[in-house]
Amino acid sequence: MLQQEKFRTTSRHGYGVKYSPFNPTRLACSTAQNYGLQGNGTLFILESVHGEPIRLVKTFEWPDGLYDVTWSELQDHVVVLAGADGNIIFLDLVGHNAPRLVLKGHTKEVSSVDWSQTRQEQLLATASWDQLIKVWDPQTGALVHTCQGHTNKVYCTTWSPHIPRLLASTSGEVP
């Protein structure tokens, strides 16, 4: 039977939710105020144990909406956030409430962020309303590649968990 538990993000609208690849009961939820049109964003780190209410572990505030979240595939205490301000925010959840690294490379909202799950290499992909997908080295913060070709906002990008360097994306393009 499917387990259903609710956690309310008061005055925030949820945009992204991901389970930790290291901790089966830990999840991260990215949110924004006012449907992401204006206002702050909040990251909620939650603990979900079967049969118990979802427990709030930690929050992180950002001055703009947070549209997506992904967990580091290298460190169990690092998440990466997609900011409505065009930033990619690396956050260390252990004892810090300030970003460890902020990448600037998109000119509009970052709508999606995904950490490669293949073990051959570590790459981070970001999608943006600037019609671009960018690939980053998450260990150095260096831009590795910019994928062009979309003619409208790119909403989501995801790595293949099986084939290294294979990305899929969705956008607002219509035929």
Q: What is the mean pLDDT of the chain?
A: 93
pLDDT of residue 1: 57
Q: Choose between 100 and 97: higher pLDDT.
A: 100
Residue 57 lies in a domain: yes
Determine, yes or no, domain membership for 5.
no
Span of 84-88, 100-104, 152-156, 171-175 with lowest mean pLDDT: 171-175
Percent of the chain exceeding pLDDT 70 equals 98
- What pLDDT does residue 175 have? 77
Residue 90 counted as domain residue:
yes
DSSP type of residue 7 = -
Band (pLDDT 50/70/90 cuts) for residue 154 is very high
Q: What is the pLDDT of residue 171?
A: 97
Q: What is the tally of structural domains in the chain?
A: 1
2: in domain = no
Q: What is the DSSP string of 36-84?
A: GTSS-EEEEEEE--TTS--EEEEEEEESS-EEEEEE-SS-TTEEEEEET
- Which pLDDT belongs to residue 105? 95
Judge whether 7 lies within some domain: no
CA distance 89 to 98: 10
In a domain, 75, yes or no: yes
User: What is the domain extent for residue 97?
Assistant: 13-171
User: Could you tell me the pLDDT band of residue 29, with boundaries at 50, 70 and 90?
Assistant: very high
Residue 167: inside a domain, yes or no? yes
3-state class (DSSP) for residue 87: strand
Maximal C-alpha separation, the chain: 49
Does some domain include residue 56?
A: yes
pLDDT, position 167: 95
Of the pLDDT bands very low, low, confident and very high (cuts 50, 70, 90), residue 4 is confident
Distance CA 165, CA 156 (A): 16
> What is d(CA 97, CA 90) in angstroms, rounded to the nearest whole number?
11
42-97 tens-digit pLDDT: 999 999 988 888 999 999 999 999 999 999 999 999 999 999 999 999 999 997 77
Tokens 């989501």 locate to 156
| pLDDT tens, position by position, 40-52 | 999 999 999 888 8
For the chain, percent of residues with pLDDT exceeding 90: 79
- The CATH number given to whatever domain includes residue 86 is 2.130.10.10
And the tokens for 107? 């000119």
Q: Please answer whether residues 135 and 127 qualify as being in contact, where contact means their C-beta atoms are separated by less than 8 angstroms.
A: no
Task: Confirm if 13 and 32 have CB atoms less than 8 A apart.
Answer: yes
| pLDDT above 90 (res 7) | no
What's the CA gap between 173 and 15, in Å, rounded?
21
